[in-house]
Amino acid sequence: MRRALLTAFAVVLIATPVAAQEPPPTPDRPLADATQEARAQALFNDIRCVVCQHEAIADSPAGIAADMRRLVREEIAAGRSDQQVRDDLVRRYGDFVLFTPPLRGGTWLLWFGPLAIVLAVGVGLLVMARRRPVETPALTAAEEADLARILADQAVRPDTDAKPSDH
């Protein structure tokens, strides 16, 4: 009896939270055309669910994400290109809706920053390498003794490929 009551209770509990908040999201109806559906799926991963934290509409269980998926499918079925679908979403929801930020004045640094960092560091290293001589001045006797004292440890197995100059 307890089991049956619990079961009934559980079914109500599991069913109600969804029913109470909003109508359940309409189930996804994939497009009949496989290539169109593949395009839609690819787009879903680049479109952010506008009420979620950091989720693509491909992953989000939210009702609005389901609506957005349906919208994308409808537009693709109507023959729009991927770019037109994106543009339409940006018109409705703003740049926020795309996980790929647009390339404009404000996002220049975002897009080209990584390249600039690699180039800057690379050029800096080249300049440094040209300025510096390759050979090390030999350590003074005092320095050698100092180093030997600090690094000495008879128990260490020698590194077979190390040359004496490595230490």
Contacting another protein within 71-100 (CB under 8 A): 94-100
Nearer to another protein, 8 or 81 (CB): 8
Enclosing H/E stretch for 66: helix 63-77
Q: What is the DSSP string of 102-133?
A: --SGGGHHHHHHHHHHHHHHHHHHHHHHHHS-
At residue 98, what are phi and psi to the nearest 5 degrees? -100, 135
Residue with tokens 């049956």: 4
To another protein, the closest distance from the beta carbon of 2 in angstroms equals 10
Q: Is 23 one of the binding residues for another protein (CB under 8 A)?
A: no
User: Residues 27 to 46: which contact another protein by CB under 8 A?
Assistant: 27-28, 41, 45-46
- Structure token digits, residue 39: 């395009």
- Structure token digits, residue 55: 């989720």
Residue in 22, 24, 67, 87 binding another protein, rule: CB under 8 A: 24
To another protein, the closest distance from the beta carbon of 165 in angstroms equals 7
Q: Is 146 one of the binding residues for another protein (CB under 8 A)?
A: yes
To another protein, the closest distance from the beta carbon of 22 in angstroms equals 12
Other beta carbons within 10 Å of 35: 9
To another protein, the closest distance from the beta carbon of 136 in angstroms equals 5
